[in-house]
Structure 1
Amino acid sequence: MADKKPRILQNNRDMLWSLIPLVVMCLLIAGIASRCSFSPGGPTPGPIPSFDADAAFKYDSRELGFPIRKPEIPEGWTSNSGSRSVVSGDGDSSNIGFITEAGRYIQLTQSNASVEALVPFVAGEPRIQTGTEQIGDHTWDVFAEGDAEVIWVSDFGDARVLITGPAPAEDFAQLATAIGSVAPMQP
């Protein structure tokens, strides 16, 4: 018996030749599974999910125990999500998400819960008010802390309206103007 390894297993080049078939096999499996893509320019945005905001507003106005307002959404915005939630036993909420023309997300929440219950429910933690914005006839309390998403909330008397997301303040003002200029929908 030879007490030395065969010559093929004696240097780094041999290890490289052993790894090449393994890498080729991994790429082949990834290609077959269609779970791998090459994009030298970086990631590209995918299609915006489709969501029927009109139907959601109508349904929520019939089913929830408070008035729902359907704002005129700015040109170029696309509704992409919606949900209903119970706000910590304090009320219900109707949530509709939009993608702005610039590709930023903004969420509109309408609720019969108190501001004190609604803000921490949406934020996931208690927040401290950092300012106000006057948009039309409504004063919006602003909650903007550190890197957390900004929250604007206003008491419309019969419901609280909250706006949040990573969109810029100009988009918040557009949505606040739109929601402030419409009357509640009839159930």
Structure 2
Amino acid sequence: MATGKPRILQDGRDMIWTVLALLALCVFVLFASGNWTFGFKAGSGDDKVPAFDVSAALAADARSMPFPIRRPATPDGWKPNSGSTQTVGGQVSSNVGWVTKKGSYVQLTQTDAPEEELVATLGGYDAMGAGKREAGGHSWVVYDGENKNRFWIADLGDVRIGVRSKGSEADIEQIAKAV
């Protein structure tokens, strides 16, 4: 009776062949599960954007927050992907976000906190005013924040609206008009 290892396992080649077989198995599993892409698709049309129900989130916020919540019409091709609440200067805020057709993220924040606090939350304490714009019948103050974030803020009396994105100003303007 032979008591040693099989002949194929007698040198360093057995480790190399085992590792190669495991790598091939991992690559097969990644491709088969659809969790590996090469990024050939442009924009947000790849269905990898997590689904989120903006209408339900804003309706829930409207029931629990002390200020009116607006639900803007979403531009065609934009995918809602997130929602949250957070504290802004001691006040609560409602946040929802979309991924645009071009793949950039746009966030809508609604709060009754003072504008200075909203500016600090959306763009950091170093955010600088960059002018004013008119959109949707309201005057918006334009800010440049940290990390190339541009955001607009409008004071509608009972609520402050902030729209932030690293994408184009046209994306910000579309939500600002819809509000």
TM-score by length of 2: 0.77
User: Which residue of structure 2 lines up, in the alignment, with residue 5 of structure 1?
Assistant: none
Unaligned runs of 5+ in 1: 1-14, 180-187
SS at match of 2:96: strand
CA distance in 2, matches of 1:116, 1:81: 24
Partner Cα separation in structure 1 for residue 15 and residue 124 of structure 2: 47
Cα gap change, 1:130/1:38 in structure 2, threshold over 3 Å: closer, same or farther?
Answer: closer
Q: 1:61 to 1:146 in 2, by over 3 A?
A: closer
| Alignment RMSD | 2.7
1:64–1:92 CA contact under 8 A, matched in 2: yes
- Is contact 1:119–1:126 with CA below 8 Å preserved after alignment? no
Q: Does residue 51 of structure 2 align to residue 55 of structure 1? A: no
Residue 66 of structure 1 is matched in structure 2 by 67
SS of corresponding position for 2:148: coil
Higher strand share: 2
State the Cα distance separating 1:30 from its structure 2 match.
3.4
- Figure out how many residues of one structure are paired with residues of the other and give that number: 162
How high is the TM-score relative to the length of structure 1? 0.74
Q: Which residue number in structure 2 is paired with residue 106 of structure 1?
A: 106
Separation in 2 of the partners of 1:118 and 1:146?
Answer: 14
Aligned-partner residue type, residue 134 of structure 2 = Q
Deviation sequence 1:84-128 (CA, Å, 0-9, x none): 111131x11000001122222101000011110011112344311
Would you say the 8 A contact 2:30–2:36 is kept in 1? no
Q: How does 1:116-131 map to 2 (within 5 A)?
A: 116-131=116-131
Counterpart secondary structure, 1:69: coil
Quick check: 23-32 or 131-140, which moved more? 23-32
1:83 is aligned to 84
> Does the C-alpha gap of structure 1 residues 108 and 51 become closer, same or farther in structure 2, counting only changes over 3 Å?
same
Please list every run of 5 or more consecutive structure 2 residues that lacks an aligned counterpart in the other structure: 1-11
Alignment identity in percent? 34
